[in-house]
Structure 1
Amino acid sequence: MNNKFITLDCDDDVVLLEKDTFKVSRLKELVREQIYSKWERHSASYLYSIQNANTQISEFFKQLSVSQETINIDEIKLNLIIDCQLLKISGQGWQKGKLKIKIYISNVTTDKYKLCFEFCPDESAKPESPLDDIRKMIQVT
């Protein structure tokens, strides 16, 4: 693996995760829904169990106290990396690699949850040389 992740900008590309395939746009929707569900909805029941029902989990992460200093936290970033295959609409066929899902949870912006998908192929794709056709013809004869 070359560890060079490229951003998946085309929402029509297809990602294969084990047995399930998703368009990039649909996978982003599903991940965003899960983040919201786990971060917002479950925080209320968790906090109720510790007698702070009016506070959300995100409140716990707004600031850190180090000695007498307070550090405000504007954004929490999570990175997930999973094995996958990618089918680009440019027609290059399925490519094995890693999918990196970057999740940004902001305490200061109106768009609280942002996602970025990146892909790193296991093997770098070799650009096809214009001489490949000639080499194939020579090998046949």
Structure 2
Amino acid sequence: MKNKFITLDCDDVVLLEKDTFKVSRLKELVQEQIYSKWERHSASYLYSVQNANTQISEFFKQLSISQETIKIDEVKLNLVIDCQILKISGRGWQKGKLKIKIYISNVTKDKYRLYLEFYPDESAKPESSLDDIRKMIQAT
């Protein structure tokens, strides 16, 4: 994945396989899923790992290493998926990778934070020198 990403606006459209979503709606759906899996289904998951009364959020609050206890303030998850983006500014569909960054905090009021970044497969075509001339003509 290239280092440069394109910021997505809430009204931009994302195509994942066969489903399309406005960025704002995709963020809502991902947040709902994370909350559901992190909070509601954690007890059943941990039943097989530890005991049924412990949630994943409790499980990730600290690590015990020998005599030391390390407090965990934040868990970060990064998901990457192939997609296409249709920007409101309009240049047609653009292929690339959608990176979903999820932050789950044990210490902040805003427990769940979600960011979407789009990394295009092909870099945008550089403007030609004629574009500079056109801009100067339009400005006068």
TM bracket, shorter-chain basis: 0.7 to 0.9
Letter matched to residue 117 of structure 1: L
Which consecutive unaligned segments of at least 5 residues does structure 1 have?
A: 133-141
Letter matched to residue 66 of structure 2: S
CA contact (8 A) 2:6 2:120 kept: no
Mapping 1:52-63, distance limit 5 Å: 52-63=51-62
Give the percent of matched residue pairs that are identical in Structure 1 and Structure 2.
87
Say whether residues 1:111 and 2:105 are aligned partners: no
- Calculate the TM-score normalised by the size of structure 2: 0.84
1:73 corresponds to = 72
Distance change (3 Å), C-alpha of 1:66 and 1:126: same
For residues 91-138 of structure 1, the C-alpha deviation after alignment (integer angstroms, 9 at most, x for no partner) is 111100000000111111122111000000000011332537xxxxxx
The secondary structure found in structure 1 opposite 2:41 is helix
The secondary structure found in structure 2 opposite 1:21 is strand
Which consecutive unaligned segments of at least 5 residues does structure 2 have?
A: 132-140
CA contact (8 A) 1:13 1:87 kept: yes
The secondary structure found in structure 2 opposite 1:38 is helix
In 2: Cα distance, 1:105 partner to 1:19 partner: 29
- Calculate the TM-score normalised by the size of structure 1: 0.83
In 2: Cα distance, 1:95 partner to 1:50 partner: 43
The secondary structure found in structure 2 opposite 1:39 is helix
Q: Which stretch shows the higher mean deviation, 120-129 or 18-27?
A: 120-129
Q: How far off its partner does 1:69 sit?
A: 1.4
1:137 corresponds to = none
How large is the RMSD of aligned CA atoms in angstroms? 1.9
For residues 48-105 of structure 1, the C-alpha deviation after alignment (integer angstroms, 9 at most, x for no partner) is 5667443211111111112221111000000000000001101111100000000111
Mapping 1:1-141, distance limit 5 Å: 2-8=2-8, 10-47=9-46, 52-129=51-128, 131=130
CA contact (8 A) 1:86 1:95 kept: yes
